[in-house]
């Protein structure tokens, strides 16, 4: 468990800043109100017990706050991540549709769908037009919306999800340029808008500045960078998938039982805004939906 001085509560989503470097809330990443309700709820109880153990283990160490930045470097998981998403292509949309292993019951699924609607409306209202690039586009969930706004090129490292994206666009009578291309590849032109869905959470912390610099170089001056990404809600993944906001590497299992590891960073809005500004973006604005998503935009 990593101590965080500022976080969105893992249960209710409320933003919280700790008062001292030893606050239990910072270990549990739960707000005081949710900590107070730990006896009513298994997840809250588990986080509280782990936080108590972690804090006790740190007694005698020079400073608990040193843990805020002391995260180990991540192995290069890029090939494993590509293999995982190639294999997951046929079941990827279950995540959006809350079907199969991603169905979390009517209450949570309703909340998910409400957040998905919020994210879709948010993206639709952005002033995206002209030449648009979508990186790590996957099965093209967002591509139909984007292709209706301008000339879209959608890229992904894997052919299999792109096949699904192609079918989706055809079903909507839309056109786009679809190519296999690594999200880390150097831009070959400057465009009016760049979009990434659920990709920034796959960028290791140590490489965020590098990726944002690349994102800015994809854009003409004034061009818009938009992204949607994950928040660490316990019900966001599959039933057999634990969400950990502390670790940068997360296990992933497919329906057939195959196991993989991916980089998964649950960014906080404020840290992304700061990183966007440091990368030279203007008007950086990162907000959240009620539970599940981060919504970010900035101008090059």
Q: Nearest distance from residue 5's CB to ligand SAM, in Å?
A: 28
How many residues interact with ligand SAM (rule CB under 6 A)?
19
As given in the structure block, the two tokens for residue 70 are 């002391």
DSSP character at residue 44: H
The yes or no reply on residue 85 touching ligand SAM (CB under 6 A) is yes
Q: Which residue lies nearer to ligand SAM by CB, 167 or 182?
A: 182
Q: Give the chain's end-to-end CA distance (angstroms, integer).
A: 36
Residues 20-49 within binding reach of ligand SAM (CB under 6 A): none
Angle between helices 78-88 and 159-171 (to 10 degrees): 40
**Per CB under 6 A, which region of 50-58, 64-72, 81-89, 119-127 contacts ligand SAM?**
81-89
Segment interacting with ligand SAM, rule: CB under 6 A, options 7-15, 31-39, 138-146, 209-217: 138-146
Interaction residues for ligand SAM, span 92-131 (CB under 6 A): none
Q: At its nearest, how many Å lie between ligand SAM and the CB of residue 161?
A: 4
To the nearest whole angstrom, how small is the minimum distance from the Cβ of residue 121 to ligand SAM?
A: 16
157 is a contact residue toward ligand SAM (CB under 6 A): yes
| Helix segments in 68-158, DSSP class H | 78-88, 93-97, 106-125, 143-147
Is 182 one of the binding residues for ligand SAM (CB under 6 A)? yes
Q: How far apart are CA 221 and CA 288, in angstroms?
A: 26
When binding is defined by CB under 6 A, the residue of 29, 153, 158, 289 that contacts ligand SAM is 158
Regarding 184 and contact with ligand SAM (CB under 6 A), the answer is yes
Task: Indicate whether 76 belongs to the interface with ligand SAM (CB under 6 A).
Answer: no
Residues 6+ apart with CB under 8 A from 102: 94, 95, 237, 238, 239
Which of residues 37, 82, 101, 205 is near ligand SAM by CB under 6 A?
82
H-helix or E-strand spanning residue 168: helix 159-171
Q: Applying CB under 6 A, does 229 fall inside the site for ligand SAM?
A: no
Q: Quick one: 3 or 292, whose CB is closer to ligand SAM?
A: 292
Query: What's the CA gap between 254 and 240, in Å, rounded?
Result: 10
CA distances from 184 to 81, 118, 155, 202, 207 (A): 14, 29, 11, 12, 10
Helix (H, G, I), strand (E, B) or coil at 224: strand
**Residue 251 phi, psi dihedral angles, 5° rounding:** -75, 145
Q: Helix or strand or coil: residue 92?
A: coil
Determine, following the binding rule CB under 6 A, whether residue 156 of this chain makes contact with ligand SAM: yes
Nearer to ligand SAM, 136 or 224 (CB): 136
Instruction: Please identify, using beta-carbon distances, which residue of 54 and 156 lies nearer to ligand SAM.
Output: 156
How far apart, in whole angstroms, are the C-alpha atoms of residue 205 and residue 202?
A: 9
Q: Is 78 in the site for ligand SAM (CB under 6 A)?
A: yes
C-beta of 205: minimal distance to ligand SAM in Å?
A: 16
Reference 272, options 211, 221, 219, 217; nearest CA is 211
Site for ligand SAM in 189-218 (CB under 6 A): 197-199
Q: Under the rule (CB under 6 A), what is the footprint of ligand SAM?
A: 78, 81-82, 85, 136-138, 141-142, 156-158, 161, 182-184, 197-199
């Amino acid at each position: 468990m990593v101590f965080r001085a500022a976080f969105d509560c893992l249960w209710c989503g409320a933003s919280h800043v700790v008062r001292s470097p030893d606050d239990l809330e910072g270990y549990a990443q739960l707000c005081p109100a949710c900590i107070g309700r730990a006896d009513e709820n298994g997840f809250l109880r588990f986080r509280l017990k782990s936080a108590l153990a972690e804090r006790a283990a740190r007694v005698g160490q020079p400073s608990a706050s040193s843990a805020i930045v002391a995260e180990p470097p991540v192995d290069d998981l890029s090939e494993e991540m590509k293999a995982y998403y190639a294999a997951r292509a046929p079941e990827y949309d279950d995540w959006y549709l809350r079907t199969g292993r991603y169905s979390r019951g009517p209450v949570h699924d309703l909340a998910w769908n409400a957040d998905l609607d919020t994210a879709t409306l948010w993206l639709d209202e952005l002033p995206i037009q002209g030449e648009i690039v979508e990186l790590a586009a996957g099965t093209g969930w967002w591509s139909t919306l984007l292709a209706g706004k301008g000339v879209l090129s959608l890229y992904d490292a894997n052919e299999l999800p792109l096949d699904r994206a192609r079918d989706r666009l055809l079903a909507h009578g839309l056109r786009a340029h679809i190519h296999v291309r690594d999200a880390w590849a150097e831009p070959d032109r400057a465009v009016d808008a760049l979009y990434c869905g659920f990709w920034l959470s796959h960028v290791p912390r140590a490489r965020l500045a590098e990726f944002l610099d690349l994102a800015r170089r994809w854009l003409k001056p004034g061009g818009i960078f938009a992204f949607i990404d994950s928040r660490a809600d316990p019900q966001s993944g599959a039933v057999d998938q634990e969400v950990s906001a502390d670790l940068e590497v997360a296990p992933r299992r497919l329906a057939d039982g195959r196991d993989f590891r991916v980089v998964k960073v649950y960014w906080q809005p404020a840290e992304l805004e700061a990183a966007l500004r440091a990368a030279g973006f203007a008007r950086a604005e990162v907000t959240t939906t009620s539970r599940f998503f981060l919504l970010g935009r900035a101008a090059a």
